[in-house]
Structure 1
Amino acid sequence: MLYELIGIVRPGNLAEVKEIVLGAGQLILQHKGVIRGISNWGVFSLPKATSVHQMRHHHGHYFAMRFDSSVAAQQAVRNMLALDPRMIRHSSVKLGDGKLETISRVGPGVEWRR
């Protein structure tokens, strides 16, 4: 199935974001999944202040990842992100119903922002 993962990492260090994305990507590949695209959206203000892991956050570094994988791989990625103290929030959405004609209508991922 095709999934899109949107994550918010505590701001400050781009290396932390890269480590988290690399870890999630390796987990997907270990479960024989395919990564379709990764997008760095940059640092934005959160809609409202959020308390996670005993810290209060007002800003976050957003990223998006599109990937094909099994349900077990998707759940493993979500569990890994939930345990990471650098993550503020994450959400994954299933895109389409797994058929090629439906997936082809789903637009390309968001471009990297420099």
Structure 2
Amino acid sequence: MLYELIAVVRPTALQESRELARTAGTLILSNGGVIRGLTNWGKQLLPKRVKKNQATYVDGHYFVMRFDAGVEAQRLVRNTLGLDPRVVRFSVVRMDNGAGLRGMSGVGGRVWGGAQ
């Protein structure tokens, strides 16, 4: 199934966002999944103030990852990100509406460059 992961990482360093994207990607690939796209949205304001781990956040680094994997890989990603204190918020949404490979052909994304 096709999933979309949107994650907000605390705004202290872009490197943390890259590490979390790499961790999620490694979990997906090691469980037989395929990463369809990875996009860095950069540092943006949150829709509302978020309190987590005795800290208040008003902005964060966003990244979006689309991946094709089984339910178990999706659960592992959710559990790992949910326990990581660097993650402010995240959401995993199922994108597959039964269209099969034709529906997935338009899924885009780009990989992070060297310097940002």
TM-score calculated relative to the size of structure 1: 0.90
Q: What secondary structure is seen at the aligned counterpart in 2 of 1:59?
A: strand
Offset, 1:111 = 7.8
Distance 2:110 2:31 in 1: 25
- How many correspondences in the alignment? 113
Distance 1:33 1:107 in 2: 15
For residues 68-97 of structure 1, the C-alpha deviation after alignment (integer angstroms, 9 at most, x for no partner) is 100010010000000000000000111123
TM-score calculated relative to the size of structure 2: 0.89
Tell me the equivalent position of 1:2.
Answer: 2
Q: Does 1:93 align with 2:93?
A: yes
Contact 2:37 2:107 (8 Å CA) reproduced: no
Distance 1:111 1:78 in 2: 21
Structure 1 runs, 4 residues or longer, greater than 4 Å off: 110-114
Tell me the equivalent position of 1:102.
Answer: 103
Distance 2:40 2:87 in 1: 15
Distance 1:22 1:35 in 2: 11
Q: Does 1:53 align with 2:53?
A: yes
Structure 1 stretches lacking a partner, 5+ long: none
Offset, 1:15 = 1.0
Identical residues among aligned pairs (%): 50
Contact 1:81 1:87 (8 Å CA) reproduced: yes
Distance 2:96 2:90 in 1: 20
Structure 2 stretches lacking a partner, 5+ long: none
Tell me the equivalent position of 2:36.
Answer: 36
